[in-house]
A and B are shown apart, each in its own frame.
Chain A
Amino acid sequence: MADQQAIPEHALARLAGLRKAGHPDGVFTSDFSVNEFLLVRKAGFEPVGLCVGSCIYHLGMQFAGWSSSCELDVLSTAMYEARALAMERMREEAKAMGADGIVGVRLTVKRMEWDEKVLEFVAIGTGIVHAKGHQGFKGPRGEPFTSALSGQDFWTLLHAGYRPLEMVMGSCVYHVARRGMLASIGSAGQNVELTNFSVALYEAREIAMERMQLEATRAGAEGVVGADLHEGSHGWATHVIEFFAIGTAVVPIEGHEPGEIPDPQLVLSVNS
C-alpha cells in the first residue's frame, strides 16, 4: 500500500510486536522534546546522556553603608563561583560519557526552604556526540562544548556557519544607595529623575556584561549568541540586586561561506 511506505519496515516490525525490544548494551538519556531530538539527529549528532551538575552553596555575609552605591563583591563572587562549579560538574559528567558537547543547558537557582543563606545551583543539559566521530566540534582545550541552545537553535546555528564554544557568564550583585533625608525632602512632590538609582542600575548591568564579554574573548570566541540579562534578588534585603549575564560563545566553522545559506521562505500559518 503506497501510503504506508512512509513508515520504515524496522519500525513496523516493532509495532506488530515482532521484534525483540531490549538494548542491554547501553541506552541514552536526554531531556529533548521530539522536535529537538529529530533536529539534533538531522544535524548529524546523537544524544548520549543527560548531564547534570549541581552546587549547594552557602553565601557569606556582606554589609554596605546606607548611602553607598557599590558592588557587594562577596555575593558577586559567590553567585559566579557557585554557577561555575555547577557547570564544571556538568561538564565533567559529559566528559566521562565521551560527549563532544552539551546542548540545551538550563541553569537554575533555587532557594532552599530550610536556610535562606543556602542556594542550590543546577546546570542540566543533554550531552551529544557527532554520529560519524567528527572531532572538530569540541570546545576549548578539547573539552566538551557547552551551550544554552535548544536542539532547534543548534541546528540553525550550524547552518548559519557557527559552532558553539562554551557558555559565558558574568555576575554582579549591587547595593543601590538609599537617598538621603534632605534629598528626599528637596524633591518631594516633584517629577524628577532619581539619578543615583539610574546610575546604580547602569553600573551594575555594565559590570555584569563586561565580565561576560571578557570571558568570551578569553575563550577565543568571535561572538556571543542568545545573550540574556537577568535581574534577581534571591531573598536579599531591599536595595540589593543581582545582574546576571549569560550567553553562548560561538566561533565560525572553517570553510563555511555565507552564500551557502538558503533564503528562508515566508509563510503565513492559517493554523489557529
Chain B
Amino acid sequence: MGLFGSSAKPSAASLERCRAWEIALDRNGLPDFVTERLAGAAAGKGAWVATMTPAELLLMRSHGIRPIATVSGTCWFQYGMSWTEGHAQGWHDALDRIRREAEAAGANAVVDVRMRTLRHPMGASMDFTLIGTAVKINGLKPSPAPIVSTVSALEFVRLLEADIVPVGIAVGARYDWLGYWASSYGGAYTSSGWGDSQALWRTQQARSMFSGNTPLHDLMDFWEMIRRDAHADLRRKVAEMGNGVLAHTNFGQLIERERDKQPPAFLGRHIVIGTVVDAKYGSPVPHEIEMVVDMRDDLSPLRTPDAPRHSSYEDVQDEEGDI
C-alpha cells in the first residue's frame, strides 16, 4: 500500500500472457491461447462473434456464409524517419497480423474491416488497428490466405453476386521536399539541386505582395509529381492482389518550411488507401435495378452514402510536420 492508495500490480499470469504476446509478435505468430480460442471458434465450440447487424446476418445466411470470430491486428508504430512511409508500414504490418488471426480461425475472408487509430499524444508514433469479422463459406476449405475486406457484410455479398471479390487493402504513399533540407533527426543534409532553388525563388516572387493573379506553376508541378508517385505506388500494390481499387482515402498535405535567408522550402506528402477488388472486366451485374421513390420523409437509406470507414486522417491539419 503506497502513499497514494493501492497500486496495480500485474499478476504472474498476466506477465506470462504479455511475454507470450511478445514472443508471438517477434516470430510473426500468435500466442497459444489466441490460437486455441480461434480454433475453438472455427470448430463451432462456444459462441461466434460478429460485428454484423441482423439484416447482414440474414443475407450472409442466405448465401451460405457463416461468421466465426472477431479478429484484429494492431501495430503501434513509431515513424522516426518518415511520417509518410511509417504510415504505409504501420498499416501493412497490421494487415499481416489480422490475416494471421483469420487463418488461425480457419476463415475464407474477413469482412467489415475497420481501420482505426487511437489518438494518444505519444510523440511521433501511433497505433494502426484493423478489426473485422472472420467468416467461412459453406463447402469451402479454409483459405491459406484469407482475404481482408473493408466492405460491410451487406456489400460483401452484393459484390460477390456480381462476380467481384474485395480482396484486400492497399496503401500508396509518397513524400518529397522541394528545396534543401537539414534532417531534424540528425541525418545528413540533402540538397535537391539548382533547379529546386530556382523554382523556390520563382514561387517566392509570385507570392510577393504586389504580384497579381497567378498560378504557382513550380509548386503545382511538384505537388502533382508527389500525388502521381503515390498513386503509382498504390497501383503497384494493387497489382499484386487484384485488378482495381476503390480508394476511399486520399490524404495530401503541402507544408511550408521557413529557412534562413532563403525562400521557404516545401514538403509534400500524400497517402492514398483503398479496397482492392478482383473483378472481371465488363462482366454484367446480374440484378435488375428497380426505381423506387421512398415515402419516408428523412433521407432514404437507399441513398445514404457510406460513412467513412476510418478516420485516421480527418483532423490532421496543414501545419509544420514530419516527412
Chain A partners chain B: yes
A interface list, Cβ under 8 A from B: 1, 3-4, 6-8, 10-12, 14-17, 21-24, 26-35, 37-39, 41-42, 46-47, 50, 52, 54-61, 74, 77-78, 81-82, 85, 89, 110, 112-115, 117-118, 120, 124, 131-132, 150, 152, 155-156, 159, 262, 264-269, 271-272
Chain A residues within 8 Å of B167, by CB: 14, 21
CA distance A114 to B224 in the complex (A): 19
Contact between chains at B243 and A17 (CB < 8 Å): no
Give chain B nearest CB distance to A90 CB in angstroms: 11
* A-B complex: 7 closest residue pairs judged by Cβ atoms: A17-B143, A60-B212, A114-B256, A23-B243, A264-B291, A131-B282, A28-B244
**Contact among B141, B223, B234, B293 with A56 in the assembled complex (CB-CB below 8 Å):** B223
Chain A residues within 8 Å of B245, by CB: 27-30
CA distance A29 to B198 in the complex (A): 34
Contact between chains at B231 and A50 (CB < 8 Å): yes
Contact between chains at A6 and B161 (CB < 8 Å): yes
Contact between chains at B216 and A7 (CB < 8 Å): no
Complex interface bits, B215-241 against A, C-beta within 8 A gives 1, otherwise 0 = 110011001100100010011001111
Contact between chains at A8 and B220 (CB < 8 Å): no
Chain B residues within 8 Å of A35, by CB: 155, 306
CA distance A118 to B264 in the complex (A): 14
The residue in chain A whose Cβ has the minimal distance to the Cβ of B257 is A114
Complex interface bits, B18-52 against A, C-beta within 8 A gives 1, otherwise 0 = 00000000000000000000000000000000000
**Contact among A8, A41, A54, A81 with B224 in the assembled complex (CB-CB below 8 Å):** A54
Chain A residues within 8 Å of B71, by CB: none
Within 8 A of A (CB), among B84-109: 108-109
Contact between chains at A124 and B244 (CB < 8 Å): no
**Contact among B63, B216, B246 with A4 in the assembled complex (CB-CB below 8 Å):** B63
Give chain B nearest CB distance to A57 CB in angstroms: 5
B interface list, Cβ under 8 A from A: 55, 62-64, 108-109, 137-141, 143-147, 151, 155, 158-165, 167, 206-207, 209-216, 219-220, 223-224, 227, 231, 234-235, 238-248, 250, 254-256, 264, 274, 277-278, 280-285, 289-296, 300-303, 305-306, 317-319
Given A1-B64, A6-B63, A42-B289, 5 more contacts at CB 8 Å?
A4-B138, A23-B242, A41-B283, A77-B213, A271-B55
Contact between chains at A50 and B292 (CB < 8 Å): no
Contact between chains at B215 and A82 (CB < 8 Å): yes
- Known interface pairs A30-B245, A31-B250; A15-B159 also in contact (CB < 8 Å): no
Contact between chains at A118 and B207 (CB < 8 Å): yes
The residue in chain B whose Cβ has the minimal distance to the Cβ of A156 is B291
The residue in chain B whose Cβ has the minimal distance to the Cβ of A78 is B213
**Contact among B138, B139, B147, B291 with A14 in the assembled complex (CB-CB below 8 Å):** B147
CA distance A184 to B74 in the complex (A): 64
- Known interface pairs A4-B64, A14-B167, A60-B213; A271-B301 also in contact (CB < 8 Å): yes
Contact between chains at A57 and B256 (CB < 8 Å): no
- Known interface pairs A14-B278, A27-B235, A265-B291; A115-B207 also in contact (CB < 8 Å): yes
Residue among B140, B211, B248, B317 with the highest chain A CB neighbour number at 10 A: B140
Give chain A nearest CB distance to B305 CB in angstroms: 6
Contact between chains at A26 and B243 (CB < 8 Å): yes
Chain B residues within 8 Å of A266, by CB: 292-293, 295
Chain A residues within 8 Å of B255, by CB: 114
Chain B residues within 8 Å of A61, by CB: 209-210, 212
Chain B residues within 8 Å of A28, by CB: 243-245
The residue in chain A whose Cβ has the minimal distance to the Cβ of B163 is A8
- Known interface pairs A6-B161, A267-B292, A269-B294; A58-B244 also in contact (CB < 8 Å): no
Chain A residues within 8 Å of B292, by CB: 264-267
Contact between chains at A58 and B206 (CB < 8 Å): yes
Chain A residues within 8 Å of B303, by CB: 152
Contact between chains at A132 and B239 (CB < 8 Å): no
Contact between chains at A3 and B64 (CB < 8 Å): yes
Give chain A nearest CB distance to B2 CB in angstroms: 46
- Known interface pairs A1-B138, A7-B161; A57-B247 also in contact (CB < 8 Å): no
Chain A residues within 8 Å of B158, by CB: 34, 38
Contact between chains at B207 and A16 (CB < 8 Å): no
Contact between chains at A14 and B165 (CB < 8 Å): yes
Contact between chains at B295 and A268 (CB < 8 Å): yes
Give chain B nearest CB distance to A169 CB in angstroms: 17
Chain B residues within 8 Å of A26, by CB: 239, 243
Chain B residues within 8 Å of A56, by CB: 215-216, 219-220, 223, 254
CA distance A124 to B151 in the complex (A): 22
Chain A residues within 8 Å of B231, by CB: 29, 50
- Known interface pairs A16-B143, A38-B158, A81-B213; A31-B163 also in contact (CB < 8 Å): no
